[in-house]
């Protein structure tokens, strides 16, 4: 079992996201108030704090939301989860892994600074099967 470290949104796609502490996960959309939301297979993005640490260990000053992820987690190696894995998020939400990593077309500032970035390899995307409130500190677990 892992936990949610940050719940992040932004007003525009492709921007760093701000930790808002809590938000509503909506079936058919994603994280309420986030520009990334919509009825598609990449409703919500997740990245582990362990992946972020790989970048801070290389001297980059980054934290939750800086990779444009919606949910920053701790305690799960997200990028090893197979497509179709179901995750229980908080008390009521259920997400299904739809994509591992993504192509980075524009090369973010982190990539430009270091020549690499973890989100394209270690970030994951889910679609929502059940919604509800998600808060920093909530649990996230792989469902059997």
The total number of structural domains that make up the chain: 1
Q: Which domain does 61 fall in, by range? A: 2-142
Rounded-to-integer distance, Cα 78 and Cα 46, Å = 8
Each residue's pLDDT expressed in tens, for the chain with a length of 144 residues: 999 999 999 998 877 899 999 999 999 999 999 998 999 999 999 999 999 998 888 888 889 998 889 999 999 999 999 999 999 999 999 999 999 987 665 555 555 555 556 676 899 999 999 999 999 999 999 997
What is the Cα 105 distance to its own chain's centre? 18
Q: What's the CATH code of the domain at 92? A: 2.40.33.20
Q: What is the pTM of this model?
A: 0.90
């Amino acid at each position: 079992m892992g936990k949610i470290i940050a719940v992040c949104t932004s007003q525009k796609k492709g921007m760093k996201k701000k930790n808002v502490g809590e938000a509503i996960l909506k079936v058919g959309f994603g994280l309420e108030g986030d520009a990334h939301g919509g009825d598609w297979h990449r409703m919500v993005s997740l990245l582990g704090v362990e992946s972020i640490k790989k970048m801070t260990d290389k001297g980059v000053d980054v934290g939750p939301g800086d990779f444009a992820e919606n949910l920053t987690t701790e305690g799960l190696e997200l990028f090893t989860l197979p497509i179709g894995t179901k995750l229980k998020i908080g008390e009521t939400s259920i997400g299904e892994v739809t994509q591992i990593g993504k192509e980075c077309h524009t090369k973010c500032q982190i990539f430009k600074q270091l020549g690499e970035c973890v989100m394209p390899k270690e970030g994951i995307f889910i679609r929502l099967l059940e919604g509800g409130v998600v808060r920093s500190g909530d649990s996230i677990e792989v469902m059997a």
